[in-house]
Amino acid sequence: MIFVTDLGALLIGLFATVLAVMGLVAYRSGAIRLVGVLWELATFWPRAAHPLAPPCYVERAVPELTRRIGQLTADGNAVVLSGQSHGSVLAAATILQLPDHCRRRVALLTYGAPLGNRYRRFFPAYVSDEMLREVGSRLAWRWINLWRYTDAVGGPVFVPLVDGPDDPAARVDRRVRDPKGLLIPPTDTVPPPVQGHRFTPDDDFHDAIRELVGRLGRTGD
């Protein structure tokens, strides 16, 4: 009996160790991360497009975002809707669902966004230049998209699909440097890291937020 108890405890500990190792391997494996990206991409679309996958989460996420923004703007608040990576797709879909009186108090910040270089290419019937311009137009072009050359997923939304410097779409995409520099900062011991698809609030992010808040303040609503 003691042997069985000890064996059970050993197996439980071994199982926990295997789970930890598998989690570490999955985190570091590009192939495993690719599966996660494809899974998230599939579950964005209605279940008819992927009948073996879980229900489409966008059918719940977009209405919840719409209601939340409606509540905030009804209280007189201005809203900067921020979407990273696939969150930028949710944000764009949400903008198209907002009533006009809400949109007048909303601005959009996207970063690491696959809207232009991925969704427009793979789903042109749903995400096209016309659809993206409609998002910008409904916001009176209060939209900034931050992107990096080092980002394998995100990129510019409109470049080079613009009609010159006077096209409002030309002011949406903002390329940011990555890495921030090549020299070791005085307060560090290693050079700045290459962020790629990872985005953390930095000077570029905060500058974009301040600019969008300023634009909202000039709407006069």
Residue among 128, 121, 71, 131 at smallest CA distance from 101: 71
pLDDT computed for residue 3 by the predictor: 60
- Kindly report, residue by residue over 37-78, the tens digit of the pLDDT: 566 666 666 666 666 666 777 788 899 999 999 999 999 899
Query: What is the residue extent of each domain of the chain?
Result: 1-56, 58-217
Q: Please compute the mean of the pLDDT values over residues 183-210 and round it to a whole number.
A: 88
Contact 64, 35 (CB under 8 A): no
Q: How confident is the model at residue 88 (pLDDT cuts 50, 70, 90)?
A: very high
pLDDT computed for residue 109 by the predictor: 97
Q: Which of 27-31, 127-131, 135-139 has the lowest mean pLDDT?
A: 27-31
Predicted TM-score (pTM) of the model is: 0.78
pLDDT computed for residue 42 by the predictor: 62
